Structure 1
Amino acid sequence: MNVTFDDKQPIFQQVAEIIEDDILNGTFRVDEQILSMAQLSQMLQINPATVVKGIGLLVNEGILYKKRGLGMFVAADAKLIIQNKRKDRFYKELLSNLLIEADKLGLTTEDIFHMIKQLRGE
């Protein structure tokens, strides 16, 4: 796995998002064990403490759960939790910023819909 971290957010948050992406795309399924912290640390070439912090976020959000002595596993509602969290962030951050920029450019809602349809090839 070749991952490039950016400076826009802490690495531990990016680690959590990488695991979330793997859950969303089906790499990890419900009640399936994810890679160990040591494996993730080695694969991502980062400090194990950073991985622990990223996984801790996911545990706190109910996305992962720990089986004592076995490791971390994907929770039953993980995919739904991630989708809801990301939809909320999409709405609050991306769409809000898009509309602010659209207003600056004088774009109408119809203009935006047209651009989206063009990008989707509709």
Structure 2
Amino acid sequence: MNGMLNERKPIYEQIKDWISDQIIDKSLRPHDRVPSTNEMVTFFKVNHLTVSKGVNQLVDQGAIYKKRGVGMFVADGARETLIAERKKKFKEDYVKPMVNEMYVLGLKEKELNQLIERVKEDEYGQRRV
């Protein structure tokens, strides 16, 4: 995210996603220190309460834990928890609407799969092996 925020979603969610992304891609591993709230306030140039809201959601999920006076750290199993949450959100936000549109357009599953393969090839250079 490189300190750049956008207007597409609330800032606290973007900060939560920024930390989550680092846990998912293994930049942050279990028991690694997470940047402090003050560091994130300075980095993103946002209000302390905004950062706290995003961080506290991760604490509530059990993805990170706080050690009073020491800092915040990645919890055991955080990556798996966050991936499971993202998959659920992906299903609700993308797959369900896509399947609904598939039925509206009268597409068959094979046609949908071909469209997905075409997008993967066009956008990512990936071919089915």
Give, in whole Å, the separation in 1 of the partners of 2:18 and 2:87. Answer: 17
Deviation beyond 3 Å, 4+ runs, structure 1: none
- What's 1:90 paired with? 90
Q: Which moved more, 1:64-73 or 1:104-113?
A: 104-113
Matched, 1:15 2:21: no
What SS is found at the alignment partner of 2:55?
helix
TM-score (norm 2): 0.87
- What's 1:117 paired with? 117
Amino acid at match of 1:99: V
- What's 1:106 paired with? 106
Aligned residue runs from structure 1 range 32-71, under 5 A: 32-71=32-71
- What's 1:3 paired with? 4
What SS is found at the alignment partner of 1:73?
strand
Deviation, 1:105, is 2.1
**Residues 24-82 of structure 1: per-residue CA shift (max 9 Å, x gap):** 11221110001111111111111111001110000000000011211100000100000
Q: How large is the RMSD of aligned CA atoms in angstroms?
A: 1.3
| Structure 2 segments unaligned to the other structure (5+ residues) | 121-125
Give, in whole Å, the separation in 1 of the partners of 2:109 and 2:40. Answer: 43
Give, in whole Å, the separation in 2 of the partners of 1:52 and 1:87. Answer: 24
Give, in whole Å, the separation in 2 of the partners of 1:41 and 1:106. Answer: 49
Deviation, 1:107, is 1.5
Amino acid at match of 2:4: V
Give, in whole Å, the separation in 2 of the partners of 1:18 and 1:121. Answer: 30
Aligned residues: 121
Q: Is the 8 A contact 2:5 2:14 kept in 1?
A: no
Give, in whole Å, the separation in 2 of the partners of 1:18 and 1:57. Answer: 13
TM-score (norm 1): 0.91
